[in-house]
Amino acid sequence: MKAHIAILPGDGIGPEVTDAARRVLEQVATVAGHDFDFETSAVGGEAIDRFDTPLPEATVKSCTRADAILLGAVGGPRWSDPSAPERRRPEAGLLELRRTFGFFANLRPVKVLPALRDATPLRPDRIDGVDLLIVRELTGGLYFGPRREEGEDPRQPKAAWDTMFYREEEVERVARIAFEAARGRRHKVASIDKANVLASMRLWRRVVDRVAADFPDVEHQHVLVDAAAMHLITRPADFDVVLAGNLFGDILSDEASVLAGSLGLLPSASLSATGKGLYEPVHGSAPDIAGQGAANPVGAILSAAMLLRHSLGLEQEAAAVETAVEEALGTARTRDLAAVTNGDDRIRIVDTEAMTEEILSQPSLGRRTTAGVGAV
């Protein structure tokens, strides 16, 4: 198949990890006989420096042409002045990208790989069997509700407010994605809210109940966000699909990443109604390790696997990439995971480049005489 992929490396370790993910996509294309072409453009702080805006028009055009978008990360101390106007903040570029293309459903899978069982700061027996999927609403709620700053000096307002605003339709469409996803998994949805206090969250709960009625085969429960934060640590393996609004999903997904051992391992997909998607590792720009070859490319490479699955419909190829990552982690790891190798000298501590090589050289990504990768 032919696919056009937009690459937005962004800031910090973004360029290093998108480069790794691109190499994986190129190899998948070669091996399985697909024709992928790539177009790179600027986003975030890098775009502010070069074009004076975190989301240049040329980037939007490139994303419009693309079948899918692969993004590294945005942000860094250089651009983190909290009183800077919106157009000087890298994060504004990412939010605008989500809004422009209607990427309303953010999927963040968190799985504990047996090889990395010791990588969590929690007791290993607590995390056995953890395999959850956070479905975060991404274009509404507190991030996009009405906002105001009051006062003479716009850089130092005397009062400011944000609004947690949801319409029924916004909750309904993301809830449907969560319930559909549960059907392909363990048939459970935990919907997170704060319905005991917030009106928007009472609406959330009511709409989720309505959607749930269309999925009698999926068990669902409502969990208050404060309790959910606790349960994610005390009994994480009980969760299957976790459905949450924009802010709560943001917070809980960082919390859940701890279960997997390193933020550097986690991928995400942000999907629109059309099938176009934005794929990015959950880790940020990690400016402290940028340019050192220390970044873990796994989050970005697994994001590329999600791209193959969700935007291109290439399930076999996606699974082949995931298998290669799991296998490679048995023999090589980047520095963020060094502490958990427990002196096992079969595991090499490697840089970004060598980790990528390790993944590319796995049999599941190797050449086949039959068509298709993963068709072992």
Burial-class residue 252 by CB neighbours within 10 Å (0-12, 13-18, 19+): buried
**Cα dihedral sign, 298-285-282-117:** positive
Per-residue binder mask for Mn ion (CB under 5 A), 3-32, x = binder? ------------------------------
Residue 250 near ligand IPM by CB under 6 A: yes
Residue 280 near Mn ion by CB under 5 A: no
Residue 250 near Mn ion by CB under 5 A: yes
Which backbone phi and psi does 335 adopt, to 5 degrees? -55, -35
Residue among 37 and 49 whose Cβ is closer to ligand IPM? 49
Separation between Cα atoms, residue 302 and residue 21, nearest integer Å = 8
Please select the residue that binds ligand IPM; options are 26, 39, 67, 91, rule is CB under 6 A: 91
Which tokens sit at 308?
């193959």
Active site residue: 11, 193, 250, 336, which one?
250
| Residue 276 designated active-site | no
Interface region with ligand IPM, contact rule CB under 6 A, candidates 30-38, 90-98, 150-158, 230-238: 90-98
Other beta carbons within 10 angstroms of residue 70's beta carbon come to 28
Please select the residue that binds ligand IPM; options are 94, 105, 127, 174, rule is CB under 6 A: 94
> In angstroms, what is the minimal distance from the CB of 19 to ligand IPM?
20
Which backbone phi and psi does 274 adopt, to 5 degrees? -90, -10
Residue 322 near Mn ion by CB under 5 A: no
CA angle 53, 58, 62 (to 5 degrees): 130
Active site residue: 143, 166, 193, 240, which one?
143
| Residue 143 designated active-site | yes
| Residue 111 designated active-site | no
Which partner from the list Mn ion, ligand IPM, none does 94 bind, CB cut-off 5 to 8 Å by kind? ligand IPM
Interactions with ligand IPM, residue window 52-81 (CB under 6 A): 75
CB 278 within 8 A of CB 103: yes
Separation between Cα atoms, residue 370 and residue 49, nearest integer Å = 48
Q: Maximum distance among all alpha carbons in the chain?
A: 70
Place of tokens 């507190």: 142
CB 96 within 8 A of CB 34: no
| Residue 279 designated active-site | no
Query: Where on the chain is the footprint of ligand IPM (CB under 6 A)?
Result: 75, 91, 94-95, 250
Active-site residues, by number, are 143, 194, 226, 250, 254
Query: Where on the chain is the footprint of Mn ion (CB under 5 A)?
Result: 250
